[in-house]
Amino acid sequence: MSTFDITDHAHRRLNILTGEWVLVSPHRSKRPWQGKTEEAAKSEGVSYDPNCFLCPGNTRINGEVNPDYKDVFVFQNDFGALQADVPAGGIDEDDLFIAESEQGICRVICFSPDHSQQLGSMPIEGIVKVVKEWKAQYKELGSMDFINHVQIFENKGEIMGCSNPHPHGQIWAQKNIPNEVEKESRNQLAYYEKTGRSMLADYLAKELEKQERIIYENDHFVALVPFWAVWPFEAMIVSKRHLTNIMELTEAEEEGYADCLKTLAAKYDKVFDCPFPYSAGIHQAPTDGKDYPEWHLHMHFYPPLLRSATVKKFMVGYEMMAGPQRDITAEGAAKILREL
């Protein structure tokens, strides 16, 4: 019987943040593709679009007019999924039908007034302003009595549900701690109680030793493909210093974070020579007033493109019924991104 080869044989990898497994099938990456393909998205390349709801000076769908902003602009989401004035209440019928009200605030953050820009093409100083605004929003929203978690994220590209190509992200702040964050809290805490150290700090140290899945690093941050990655070119940005939330960034770390964001986003756009779609989000300590020494600031990137700008990965079949699965190995994806 042949010896197990992690680069060629089917195996499972454990996501140490969530405690869940991912099935990896590297041999499947050799199969020919005869499925559906779609036309690659093209960049408009215009700095101002009179029909864009997010460009400076334009009128949004609710009738409000955007100011003539020059860098970063934040406003209350006109169609927020969460609302602050939801009354307390819920149902519980025989422990079978359970629901409870949820309060929250949704905001939109425009990264730049330039309609043609994205994180990969913006200047570092412009991205630093975005990072500073993320800090300000986390502090302001997190200080509210009914807000216990602040989720900062970006959807890029129509396929990821982005309704507007203008460079922007979102901030959803809510009363309860979301599922993915709760799972990461639980596993980071278990490791911290066992070792007295940050799990991601230890993990990052090992990754830097191996240099197998590193995409890019500077003095303060590292971009890598996590060992347990699910999406084809999934990546994670991790702070080198053990920070529990974005408020703890120094000015030098703000610039390092901006540099890492720009570099990864630019590499993504070069993978298949197209505007690379993804969903990305910052994971950090909740804002419920408790201490979270186990938390380590990081940011996830989940891009759907698999083999080209026209072939995408969806969660179907086995993944919907059983669990996540991927074909390209984390090491292979990291090599492609690193060398771009």
Residue 165 corresponds to which tokens in the numbers above? 């190509």
In the chain, the number of structural domains is 1
Whether residue 40 is contained in a domain is answered as no
Check which CATH number belongs to the domain holding 50 and give it. 3.30.428.10
Asked whether the predicted pLDDT for residue 116 surpasses 90, the reply is yes
Residue 118 corresponds to which tokens in the numbers above? 């994205």
Asked whether the predicted pLDDT for residue 336 surpasses 50, the reply is yes
* Residue 24 or residue 197, greater confidence: 197
Query: d(Cα 114, Cα 71) in Å, to the nearest integer?
Result: 9
Whether residue 176 is contained in a domain is answered as yes
Q: Where are the alpha helices (DSSP H) in the chain?
A: 124-142, 179-195, 199-210, 251-271, 318-321, 330-339
Whether residue 3 is contained in a domain is answered as no
Catalytic residues: 168
Whether residue 322 is contained in a domain is answered as yes
pLDDT digits (tens, 9 = 90+) for 32-60: 444 444 454 454 579 999 999 999 999 99
Whether residue 41 is contained in a domain is answered as no
Whether residue 31 is contained in a domain is answered as no
Q: What is the pLDDT of residue 10?
A: 87
Q: Where are the alpha helices (DSSP H) in 143-217?
A: 179-195, 199-210
Q: Tell me the average pLDDT of the chain.
A: 91
Kindly tell me the burial class for residue 241, based on how many C-beta atoms sit within 10 Å of its own C-beta (0-12, 13-18, 19 or more).
middle
Predicted confidence band of residue 213 (pLDDT cuts 50, 70, 90): very high
Return the SS3 of 190.
helix
pTM for the whole thing? 0.92
Range of the domain at 119: 14-25+46-339
pLDDT digits (tens, 9 = 90+) for 266-275: 999 999 888 8
Q: What is the pLDDT of residue 162?
A: 83
Whether residue 32 is contained in a domain is answered as no
Whether residue 203 is contained in a domain is answered as yes
